[in-house]
Amino acid sequence: AGRGLPRSFGWAEMVSLLSAGGVSQLYSDGRPEDPVFQVLDIKTVGSENAKVRLVLSDGTHFMMAFLASQLNTMVNNGEIQANTIVKLGQYMANKNNDRLVHIILKLTVLSQHPEKIGEPVNVVGGGGGAPAAKPPSSAPPAATPVAPPAAPSASYAPVAMADPGATVVPIESLNPYQNKWTIKARVTSKSDIKSWNNARGSGTLFKIELLDEQGGEIQAAFFKDACEKFYPILEMNKVYTFSNGRLKVSNPQYSTVRNSHEITFGADADIRLAADSGSITAAKFSFVKFGDLQPVGGPPTVDIIGIVKRFGDHQEILSRRSGNTLHKRDLTVVDDSGTEVTLTLWGDKAQEDDSQWDGEPILAIKKVKVSDYNGCSLSSLQSSQFHVNPETPEAEALRSWWSTSGRLATPKSLTRASPGGSAGGMRNTSVESRKPISVIKEQSLGHSEKGDYVTVKATVTYIHEREGNDPWYVSDPETKYKCLEQPDGSFYCERLQKTVEKVQRRYIMSISVTDHSANQLISIFDNEAQQLLGKSADEMFEFKQNGEEEKMKGTIKAALFQECIMTLKVKHEEYNGEQRMKVIGLNMAKIDPVTESKQLIDAIKAY
């Protein structure tokens, strides 16, 4: 987010920051380019499949618009608040009951502003100078927003209801030679809206997956006008009748269901909300036991059910390919084949409250990706469907196995330890997965192409301080690239060739760790150093700037003799013609006495 604007700005100057007339243009189905608005109010509409509604102002008028579901996290993490200044990058308008419903597909936060700009009035009825409804106040989002009288309905439910007597056919009977057909199915998956732009043109699309009463599944796609028309209407888990679609052979590379065909719906499709009698299940599973997983040569996606044995913290990593921040969380899941595997959650699912993984719940997932990463591992997809503690026969059998013998058994692990994998990122890392530090030399680790990983329980015995050098570097907070301070006090990123207005300091330090078998010098970086010290590098920098050297020394001293679980990455590298061993500490977590005691007791029982 950008820096806040000074409160000393005059009223006219502040209004000039916004796109004059932008709301009126947008409301009348105009297409203003990259309009800049202020968010006056935020409201979540509905409980299941909730939508986020924003009140947008150009300083003169205000109107309502909805965020596409992929942008909801910007509200959840506080990026978008009341009075935030935003720039709309991409949006669409859908006609509903003769009113335009606007959906924001791309949005950039420009700054956080301290107060409402101007005295905007509702664009509905306020354009001719006549008295209009007052805009929502600039209070926090928890305040009850004013609902303009002509605001569009937030339910998006289709006006037409399905005819209960209509003849429907099973999905499995569909073929390209049928001209007219109607199916009745539940929406079990709905993608975000995606955009494309190539030599043949540009547009938007989204996809859904459908399941009918007979257990038939099929994927359906909506392009351009159909995307705009039906994206706000179709809701997850609702049942609809579908007619007037075109059937074609599916591309296995892009298909996410077990069907050799897929449907394309145009804007002329006939889609109606149907009564939900409960005869169509929420999902259809074809579970594969972990012991039968084939990382090479097997199906690329499978359905799985298992016990969540351990779970890791939410992590943020930087994508090397795109430069974007990715969100992930690792789970260790085990099933009654006596096998456990690491499952990585990505995106919004990784950021959800981790209390849902407490108490060893049963997790069933439709469609996870199988990979040979670190031996064999699983990853969630955008189309994955999660069911926690489902009421199925498989779940009952699994729970019975776990309570009678599974919990005490030592499972076979399909996934090797890795920097982002089960060994270092997991809470309650199992005792049996730990190794003594001495195995680094005894087994001559670190000579493989990607290095070797070993999980240890060790005590921090020394934090190395370089005289005249701080244990951090100055970085661009978005890319984490190093920045150099210029004579005028600004910071410049040579790699991106740009000046960085607000920098972030990130740790890089050397520490010594010791267990009963050996001592090892290791390097740790920002996440691990923050775990160890309990302070960010920026906070330590403030101590230094304020002459509070004792606070710095006290923070470092308090970190000594802490007992931690960590993953060590061991890699031999050539430097000036010599082989040197480099050891990096990853996913460091301080020992919790209660958790550790439970783990030790479980290990003794299983011995």
Last residue of a domain, one of 415, 446, 469: 415
pLDDT of residue 50: 65
Chain-centre distance of CA 375, in angstroms?
A: 25
Domain extent at residue 77: 11-126
Q: Domain holding 180: CATH number?
A: 2.40.50.140
pLDDT of residue 463: 93
Last residue of a domain, one of 415, 449, 464: 415
Strands 61-67 and 99-112: parallel
Phi, psi of 543 (to 5 degrees): -55, -45
Is residue 305 located within the same domain as residue 220? no
pLDDT of residue 164: 61
pLDDT value at 436 more than 90: yes
pLDDT value at 290 more than 60: yes
pLDDT value at 6 more than 80: no
Is residue 344 located within the same domain as residue 468? no
Model confidence at 479, pLDDT cuts 50, 70, 90, reads confident
* pLDDT tens-digit series, residues 119-128: 888 887 654 3
Is residue 466 located within the same domain as residue 373? no
Judge whether 424 lies within some domain.
no
Is residue 267 located within the same domain as residue 402? no
Is residue 236 located within the same domain as residue 193? yes
pLDDT of residue 69: 78
Is residue 218 located within the same domain as residue 269? yes
pLDDT of residue 202: 86
pLDDT value at 47 more than 60: no
pLDDT of residue 149: 29
Judge whether 402 lies within some domain.
yes
Q: What is the mean pLDDT of residues 380-402?
A: 90
pLDDT value at 350 more than 70: yes
Is residue 332 located within the same domain as residue 240? no
The pair of structure tokens assigned to 447 is: 């000579």
Is residue 337 located within the same domain as residue 440? no
Judge whether 118 lies within some domain.
yes
* pLDDT tens-digit series, residues 202-217: 889 999 999 999 989 9
Q: What is the mean pLDDT of residues 232-240?
A: 91
DSSP string spanning 194-214? EEEEETTEEEEEEEEEEE-TT
Q: How far is CA 174 from CA 42, 182, 211, 283, in A?
A: 44, 10, 13, 20
Work out the percent of the chain whose per-residue pLDDT is above 70.
85
Q: What is the mean pLDDT of residues 158-169?
A: 64
pLDDT value at 418 more than 70: no
Is residue 253 located within the same domain as residue 295? no
Judge whether 460 lies within some domain.
yes
Judge whether 82 lies within some domain.
yes
pLDDT of residue 561: 94
Is residue 447 located within the same domain as residue 589? yes
Judge whether 296 lies within some domain.
yes
The tally of domains found in the chain comes to 4
pLDDT of residue 209: 93
Judge whether 426 lies within some domain.
no
DSSP string spanning 319-359? -TTT--EEEEEEEEEEETTTEEEEEEEETHHHHS-GGGGTT
pLDDT of residue 598: 80
CB 476 within 8 A of CB 493: yes
Model confidence at 116, pLDDT cuts 50, 70, 90, reads confident
Lowest mean pLDDT among 50-59, 96-105, 324-333, 508-517: 96-105
Last residue of a domain, one of 415, 449, 481: 415
CB 567 within 8 A of CB 533: no
Lowest mean pLDDT among 32-36, 194-198, 427-431: 427-431
Q: What is the mean pLDDT of residues 80-84?
A: 88
Is residue 441 located within the same domain as residue 500? yes
pLDDT value at 406 more than 90: no
Lowest mean pLDDT among 145-149, 157-161, 177-181, 219-223: 145-149
| Most confident by average pLDDT, 147-156, 317-326, 406-415 | 406-415
Q: Which of 462, 382, 441, 476 is nearest to 572 (CA)?
A: 441
In terms of C-beta density within 10 A (0-12 exposed, 13-18 middle, 19 or more buried), how is residue 476 classed? Answer: buried
pLDDT of residue 417: 57
* pLDDT tens-digit series, residues 533-563: 999 999 999 999 999 989 999 999 999 999 9
pLDDT value at 140 more than 90: no
Is residue 240 located within the same domain as residue 359? no
- Average predicted confidence (pLDDT) for the chain: 82
* pLDDT tens-digit series, residues 584-599: 998 788 888 887 888 7
pLDDT value at 488 more than 80: yes
* pLDDT tens-digit series, residues 84-96: 999 998 888 776 5
In terms of C-beta density within 10 A (0-12 exposed, 13-18 middle, 19 or more buried), how is residue 506 classed? Answer: buried
Model confidence at 335, pLDDT cuts 50, 70, 90, reads very high
pLDDT of residue 14: 56
Judge whether 379 lies within some domain.
yes
Lowest mean pLDDT among 95-109, 504-518, 577-591: 95-109
* pLDDT tens-digit series, residues 503-512: 999 999 999 9
CB 173 within 8 A of CB 188: no
The pair of structure tokens assigned to 224 is: 């351009």
Strands 377-388 and 339-346: parallel
Q: How far is CA 601 from CA 113, 205, 492, 597, in A?
A: 54, 53, 54, 6
